[in-house]
Chains A and B, each alone.
Chain A
Amino acid sequence: MKILVPVKRVAALEDDFQIFADGRDVDPECLNYDLNEWDSFALEQAVLIKEAASTDVQVVAVTVGPEPCDEILRACLAKGADRALRVWDDSMLGSDPIAIARVLAAVAGRQAPQLVLTGAQSSDHGHATTGIALSAALDWPHVAVVAGLKYAAGDARATATRELEAGLLQDVELVLPAVLTIQLGINKPRYASLRAIKQAAAKPIEVLALSDLGLAASVVGEAGSASRVRRMVIPEKGRAQMIEGTVQQKAQRLAQIIREYKAA
Chain B
Amino acid sequence: MNDTSLGSGPLPPEQITRILFEGFSPTAVALFYAIAVAAIAAFAWGCFVELRKYRRGQPDPGPGVELGRRLAQMVATVLSHRTVARRDAAAGRAHRLIFYGFVLLFIGTSIITLQVDVLEPLFGYRFWYGDFYLVFSLVLDLAGVALIAGLAYMMVRRAWIRPAKLDYARPDRNPGDPDYDRRFYRREDWAFLWTLIAIAVTGYVLEAARLVWLQDQPGVWSTRSWAPAGALIAQGLRDGGLSSAGAGTLRGLLWWFHGILALVFIALVPRTKVKHLFTAMGSLMARDPLAAQCLPKLQPEASRVGYARISDLTWKHLLNLDACTKCGKCHEACPARAAGAPLSPRDLILSLREHSNRSLERNLIPGDADLDIHGGKPGQVSAETLWACRTCMACVEICPVAVEHVPIIVQMRRKLVESGEMDPLLQKTLQTIHKFGNSFGESKRKRGAWTKGLPFAVKDARKEPVDYLWFVGDYASFDPRNQQVSQAFARLLQAAGVDFGILYDAEGNAGNDVRRVGEEGLYEHLVQANVAAFGAASFKRIVTTDPHSLNTIRNEYPQFGARFEVVHYTSLVLDLLRQGRLQLERRLAHRATYHDPCHLGRFNKEFDAPRELLRATGCELVEMPRSRDNSFCCGAGGGRIWMPDPVGKEKPAQIRMREAARIEGLEVFVVTCPKDLTMFEDAVKTTGNEGRIKVRELLELIEPCMAGALEQPMAA
A residues neighboring B (CB under 8 Å): 14-16, 32, 34, 188, 190-191, 193-198
- Closest-CB distance, B712 to chain A (whole angstroms): 21
Partner of A14, one of B430, B431, B443, B522: B443
Contact A195 B443 (CB under 8 A): no
Contacts of B427 in A (CB 8 A): 191
Contact B435 A193 (CB under 8 A): no
User: How far does the alpha carbon of A34 sit from the alpha carbon of B441 in the complex, in Å?
Assistant: 13
B292-323 CB mask vs A (1 if < 8 Å, else 0) is: 00000010000001000000000000000000
User: How far does the alpha carbon of A190 sit from the alpha carbon of B421 in the complex, in Å?
Assistant: 9
20 additional contacts (CB under 8 A) given A190-B420, A195-B298: A14-B443, A15-B443, A15-B446, A32-B436, A32-B443, A188-B424, A191-B427, A191-B430, A191-B431, A193-B418, A193-B519, A193-B521, A194-B520, A194-B524, A194-B525, A195-B305, A195-B520, A196-B521, A197-B521, A198-B521
User: Could you pull out 8 A-B pairs where Cβ atoms are within 8 angstroms?
Assistant: A14-B445, A15-B446, A191-B422, A191-B427, A191-B430, A193-B522, A195-B418, A196-B418
Q: Count the B residues whose beta carbon is within 8 Å of the partner chain — how many?
A: 22
Q: Is B417's CB within 8 Å of the partner chain A? A: yes
Contact A194 B436 (CB under 8 A): no
Q: With A197-B521, A198-B521 in contact, is A191–B443 under 8 Å at CB? A: no
Name the interface residues of B384-432: CB closer than 8 Å to any CB of A: 417-418, 420, 422, 424, 427, 430-431
Q: Which residue of chain A has its CB nearest to the CB of B441?
A: A32
Q: Is B434's CB within 8 Å of the partner chain A? A: yes
- Closest-CB distance, A122 to chain B (whole angstroms): 17
User: How far does the alpha carbon of A198 sit from the alpha carbon of B418 in the complex, in Å?
Assistant: 13
Partner of B434, one of A14, A190, A194, A196: A194
User: How far does the alpha carbon of A34 sit from the alpha carbon of B417 in the complex, in Å?
Assistant: 20
Q: Which residue of chain B has its CB nearest to the CB of A34?
A: B435
User: How far does the alpha carbon of A172 sit from the alpha carbon of B148 in the complex, in Å?
Assistant: 80
Contact A195 B521 (CB under 8 A): yes
Contact B522 A194 (CB under 8 A): yes
Contact A194 B521 (CB under 8 A): yes
Partner of A191, one of B305, B420, B445, B524: B420
Q: Which residue of chain B has its CB nearest to the CB of A12?
A: B435
Contacts of B424 in A (CB 8 A): 188
Contact A193 B436 (CB under 8 A): no
- Closest-CB distance, A72 to chain B (whole angstroms): 12
User: How far does the alpha carbon of A212 sit from the alpha carbon of B298 in the complex, in Å?
Assistant: 42
Q: Which residue of chain A has its CB nearest to the CB of B424?
A: A188
Contacts of B298 in A (CB 8 A): 195
User: How far does the alpha carbon of A14 sit from the alpha carbon of B521 in the complex, in Å?
Assistant: 26
Contacts of A196 in B (CB 8 A): 418, 521
User: How far does the alpha carbon of A14 sit from the alpha carbon of B438 in the complex, in Å?
Assistant: 14
Contacts of B417 in A (CB 8 A): 191, 193
- Closest-CB distance, B524 to chain A (whole angstroms): 7
Contact B435 A32 (CB under 8 A): yes
User: How far does the alpha carbon of A16 sit from the alpha carbon of B436 in the complex, in Å?
Assistant: 15
Contacts of A190 in B (CB 8 A): 420
Contacts of B430 in A (CB 8 A): 191
User: How far does the alpha carbon of A202 sit from the alpha carbon of B305 in the complex, in Å?
Assistant: 18
Contacts of A14 in B (CB 8 A): 443, 445
User: How far does the alpha carbon of A217 sit from the alpha carbon of B659 in the complex, in Å?
Assistant: 73
User: How far does the alpha carbon of A11 sit from the alpha carbon of B363 in the complex, in Å?
Assistant: 58
B493-507 CB mask vs A (1 if < 8 Å, else 0) is: 000000000000000
User: How far does the alpha carbon of A188 sit from the alpha carbon of B427 in the complex, in Å?
Assistant: 11
User: How far does the alpha carbon of A16 sit from the alpha carbon of B446 in the complex, in Å?
Assistant: 10
- Closest-CB distance, B490 to chain A (whole angstroms): 23
User: How far does the alpha carbon of A155 sit from the alpha carbon of B446 in the complex, in Å?
Assistant: 52
Name the interface residues of B443-468: CB closer than 8 Å to any CB of A: 443, 445-446
Interface centre among A188, A190, A193, by most chain B C-beta atoms within 10 angstroms, is A193
User: How far does the alpha carbon of A195 sit from the alpha carbon of B434 in the complex, in Å?
Assistant: 12
